[in-house]
Every structure is written in structure tokens, then in C-alpha cells.
Structure 1
């Protein structure tokens, strides 16, 4: 096989909102720095909400900047007659109870202003919350036997890894092209002789001396079918997953991974070794 390299890197500051493309991704205990550290929750129950029910969340663009006062999250929504943005300075002054897939814990409420902005946009009373380093969730120990493996508000694991060959094959089976971002990867790998879905058989990868152990194939929900332009769910995407990527009663695309240390960085173009 020809050498493998990192083709692209992404993180998603707010769970279920738009991605941020990275040239270099800095590692933290919960994956890439600031990956899914913010989350939109139902105001009354604290339960997370996502594109599954509110597809327009894929159009909420995010960016981060550091100021002398601390981290500022910027949110913007640019579509048709709804064009607005808001800056959200990180706040750690008030806690609320939240829930992600049955995990209940306190997280930092980010205030009324952004809650109102999001509620008017989404059409439901919601709050924006932030998870701090001391609040990180433990990765499912059925798949990782290391108690130190942590995750923020991502569904289950700190990294989702796939390849250029796999999205090309999926698009060929689908009959038209969709962006790999619909599958919300953190790391996309490329290589001249790379076969589609070859990552299914890998134990993991090593980049810059950092190991990424593949612990579980990523089961897919309806989100990859959401067209970011029309916001409609494309049945063909679901059908193609069912026809080509079904195991039992679930469909899979990409590999969930945990990393060996919470220091260092990855960059586009870095060499990838197989474990």
C-alpha cells in the first residue's frame, strides 16, 4: 500500500451544528480541542436536541476565538430571510442538569441572550450549555477498558475516522455525490491504493506518535440523509446505507476511536501508520 496521509480534519464546537475545518487539530482529553464542548438542550428537560429533529441546525455556523477575557463562541445563521449572528463569551457561572443518551450531568448554562437567539431560530425553548474539563463523560467501558478515556458532548467517542476511498465508493453506490461531512468525521485519511471501507479491518492508526485505537464501527442514524440546502431527508442515502453497509439491524460508516494521549497535534498531510 502507498503511504497514507491525513486528507482533512474537522471539529464541531456545538453538537449537531456546522463543522470547522482544521489545518492543525490540537488534542485534548475529549478529542480535538473544543470538539462538541457546547450543546443545545431542551430548556425544560435538559435533554440534547440535534439535526435529527431540527435539520436547520446544520446551517448554524460556528467559530471560536480567544480574547484577553477568554474563549468566545460565534454563531451565525445565514439562509434566506434569516440572517443573524451572535457572540457567546464562555460562561461558567451557572449550572443546569443535562442529558445525552442517558448520561445525566451538570453543564454550564451560557445565558439568556444566546438561549433566546437559538430558541427563536429553532422554534423551541432551548438553552446552550458547555461541558468543562472536570465534567467530561467517560467513554463506554464496553468498548474501551481505559477509565481515563473521556468525551465531551459527542455521542459516544472522541474521534470518528473514515477515508476518501469510502466516501467515493458510497457516492458511487448512491448515484450522486454527497459531502463526507454528512457523516461528521474528525479525521479523513487518503492513500493512492486505499480500498473503500478498508478501515473496517484496521485496529487503529498512529500519527505523530499518537495512537488512535478503533473501538467500534459507527452506527448511523438519519443525519447523513439531511440535505444541508433543502433540509429534506434524502431517502436514497438511507436506502444505500441499508443496501451496502448493514450489519444486523444497523448500518455503519466510519470508525469510532480513542486516543493514547491528550497532548500533541495532527495536521493535514501528516503520515498515517497502521497499528
Structure 2
């Protein structure tokens, strides 16, 4: 089956098996345009091979996420586990590739690509952490405020790993495709919280313009997630192993 549209991927986090499965699914659908919203390499998995796959695909329009920036800016001693494990695998040409990526760009002149929000790579946009340690859909007022004056009809973001689409009152569509390679994680900022998607699938989205109106469809892709879970476990990354195996943190 051939399908027109733009595939949107994000938050691969060094999961090369998930990336390969998603790219194969995109190809199967006949989609040739792909945009990638950052956080490509950091994690407990295969950072260098993931970088090699992406570097061999100059047709994929990429931006940098917060973890990509931290791989370049932070001394290794100050890195968290995700960044340190990845950084140990990367060669200078991988880091040079990351350094050339912008933090924000447009596709097709009207689709805005960012990682967190248009002005920050660390702020959650469509969802927000709650005081009880979970995540919830953000208020429309917060979402609209963070969209600011960016008039693009489609605004794309990642960062939360949660697939979500929100239509603003003025018609702009904001889409988070979910995470290709990391279905669950925990964090301490802005408050301690967990993100759990509930399944180990790799996730991405497809944008289509139908009669002048942009819309999005979300796709879940099965792959050999247990191989990745075993790899994380072998590196004593138990939360990663649980997330990859189940989509939950146990």
C-alpha cells in the first residue's frame, strides 16, 4: 500500500533495533519524507550504531534534543547514566554530526520542528508532570501559551515520549509522535515523576494534509524489544530493562 504523508519520529535514545523497525514500517507505507525531533543517542543501548544509521540517511531531516546537547556540553563526569553510556560509545565524527544539528527548524516551509517547545528543549509541552508522580494532558491555556506567536499550521515536538495531538482553537495542530526507542522513564524535573506508555512498541506518527487541513495518525511497531531489554540488563540499567520489556517501570 502506498501512502502519502510525512513520517515523524523522535526520542530514539540509541535503540537501533526500534529505529530499524520503524524505518522499515515507514518504507512499507511508501512514505519518503521523514523528520526526526531529537534525543537520538542517549541511553543504555547502541548509541554509535544508531548514529551510523541516521548519518547514512541524509534524507531524514533531524534536529537536536536536550540529550544531544548534553552529550556535547557536559563533561563526562557530570553526565547522567543515559548520556555517559552513550558518550563512551561515540567517536568524534558522531559528535560532530550532533553539533551540526539545529535545535529548531522548519520543513516544507510551514511545519515547525522542535524537541520540547519552540523555545526550550527541556520543557514539557502537551503533557505535564503531576505532584503525585504521574503525567497528564496539559491545559489548553498552557499549551497555547507555549505555542506563542509561531504561526505554523503544524508544530511538532517530542521529549515526553507520549504520543499526543492537540488542535488549538485557531486551527494549529501540535503533534508529539511518541518515542521510537524508550517507552518508559522516570525523572526528577520539574517534580519526581514517571512516564509509562504501557507497551514496549516503537512509536511514530504520520502527518497528512487533506483538503488543506493537517491531521496525524499514530503507529505502534513491534520489534525484538527483549533483545534490547537484555542489553540494558547486562549493563545494570534495570529501569531501562523494565521499560523496554514492558512499557512500565517496575
Greater share of residues in helix: 2
Superposition TM-score tier, normalisation by shorter sequence: under 0.3
Greater share of residues in strand: 1
TM-score (norm. length: structure 2): 0.26
TM-score (norm. length: structure 1): 0.25
Greater relative contact order structure (CA < 8 Å, 6+ sep): 1
Larger Rg: 1
